[in-house]
Chain A
């Protein structure tokens, strides 16, 4: 039996992301749809979101309009598809400090947010550098930071120190330093609650965008190809990919990659009234199905 129900919920998409940005080295190979998605866990009396999307307001609206992020709907509508509301979210685990993963802080009024302390520290350190390093600070918003100060003072923004077992029952955090970002983290869900679990799902954030990052397009003779965008080391990304695969016993279907449209083919899924995919990865005891 599953401890947590798990749903992957698309909330927007970019129709024309360049393939080279998704899989390293695939230049001049056209564009692909890039879904934007967060993942909801419900179990052990908690409702937990993995990443929190982006808010279509202020600079978020400007960002999405300018870069062709389409069909954004607020969490109120997206979560309603699985019988939840933003008010129900107790905790949000932020995999990294990028805009489309933590731009929705204001949308979850009762949530506590969990991010690697070093992810924020590295970002602040970069701020000391000369103006010519400003690419490293691209798209950071002072308003978001001021809101984060408020959250932290209210005890609602928690800095995580490296690897953590059982942040919540059966949920472990693993840090992947110097990869996609300075201190990205991925989330291991041991859905039977056992230390040596036989029912593991691993949520990757942006350490992996596509299944091709795990097998290079050839599952029979896999090769790791890192994502096309890394602020850190591609070598470290490849090793993080290996560790992620190890966590599920090399079962790719149990690796939850929020930017991979093919996830819909691995689990029961449906298209919502807003045109988004909704994937039901697991159902806890007594939980109603929404597909």
Chain B
């Protein structure tokens, strides 16, 4: 494995796991896609929380929705450019499923906004997308679904490291 690949994976490597070089490069390339899908899911979940609490569709008409859509678009393009290895095939499949379900979630949010009679609950595809993202994170080292790296309780740990 190259130094670059080692650096990219080292902090989150599972104990004793060795990843071949092609998979390491795949993992580095896939990080942006994973982050975009994860970020989009997070944003759409946030919107649905607000929607449920305020009980007003107007909260969906926010910059957050546009940010989520941009992340799904970027992530989908990044996914198309990825070539999975045998080791990363399982991860890739989950990521692909997540992308499709996020697109479905966005569609349902848009239909809800336009008061379409065909609008369905965006929460269902979002839940599936989230499960796919979580499953993907378990398939390869280096993909985390919660970033604790800069949280308040982490400050002393960062200093210690």
Contacts and interface: CB of A to CB of B under 8 A. Distances in A.
Contact of A152 (B52, B133, B151, B152): B52
B53 A152 contact: yes
Given A69-B153, A124-B49, A143-B130, A149 B64 contact: no
Contacts of A158: 53
A31 B156 contact: yes
B150 interface: yes
Contacts of B54: 117, 159
Contacts of A159: 53-54
B148 A127 contact: no
Interface string B124-158: 00110010011000000000011111111111110
Dominant SS among interface residues on chain B = helix
A66 B146 CA distance: 12
A100 B46 CA distance: 19
Interface of A: 14, 16-18, 21, 31, 59, 62-63, 66-69, 98-100, 117, 120-121, 123-125, 127-129, 131, 134-135, 137-143, 145-146, 148-150, 152-153, 157-159, 229
Given A63-B146, A128-B63, A138-B150, A149 B155 contact: no
Contacts of B152: 21, 98, 229
Given A124-B47, A124-B64, A125-B63, 12 more contacts: A63-B146, A67-B151, A120-B46, A121-B50, A124-B59, A125-B64, A131-B39, A135-B150, A138-B147, A139-B151, A159-B53, A229-B152
B148 A146 contact: no
Nearest to A17: B156
